[in-house]
Structure 1
């Protein structure tokens, strides 16, 4: 029986909730724009010294803006665009394709009763988040 994309997302949410996975997506581009903008504004106002002060202030502000804001992975999974969910679905199907299950409830039970399967799916999620979203993952807490 095939599994739908939304069901796979539910299964991945179960696993990530069990592992208490959280992710912080980095956005260094935004921080870089802040540094450039404040350095430019500082240069307009204060010349060469203004550039240095503006760059330093922008660097601090950019760092603060990019400080890790961790969100639960299940929340991020459900907010992913359909195209990204499809990518994740294809990767996850490779992990569960050899399992014996008749419906989604049975598949969920098989996965949640297998520590190894949970680890495989959690690692798949971690790799996906790092590769596709440039995220930092943490477990527990």
Structure 2
């Protein structure tokens, strides 16, 4: 079974590389904490006007901190822990279970020959990245 997981990961890496997909994981908890802390300090130092200024400055600082760096999706996929790769594998294999392949190269060739399969697998990948990893996706064309 691990070989099949590796095959699916290689396939998803190929598809995401072909589409030049990148993702950035946002750390919204950190941003909220910074925003709240700066607003609190502003309120202590300057009263109500300080609270307003602190909230604005904290919001900008929090937004800057949480604008994650984009990384290629293939890199993110290969760095996933085995349990997460298994989750993604389970979703992807439901789409390609009817295909008969012996290795990643053959599987990739079969999928690249079908635009419908590519779209279905990309939808699974995008769903996984946005829901499970809470990441933002962009396409570099």
Q: TM-score, normalised by structure 2?
A: 0.87
- Aligned partner of 1:133 in structure 2 is 133
Alignment of 1:4-15 (within 5 A): 4-15=4-15
- Structure 1 gaps of 5+ residues are none
- Aligned partner of 1:41 in structure 2 is 41
Alignment of 1:1-141 (within 5 A): 3-67=3-67, 69-141=69-141
Q: 1:2 to 1:94 in 2, by over 3 A?
A: farther
String of CA shifts for 1:90-125, please: whole Å, max 9, x gaps.
001111110122333211221222222222111110
Q: 1:13 to 1:34 in 2, by over 3 A?
A: same
SS at match of 1:80: coil
The 2-side partners of 1:44 and 1:86 are apart by 49
Q: CA deviation at 1:65?
A: 2.0
The 1-side partners of 2:110 and 2:73 are apart by 21
Answer whether contact 1:19 1:122 (CA < 8 A) is retained. no
String of CA shifts for 1:47-81, please: whole Å, max 9, x gaps.
33222211110011112223353221111111222
Q: 1:56 to 1:6 in 2, by over 3 A?
A: same
- Structure 2 gaps of 5+ residues are none
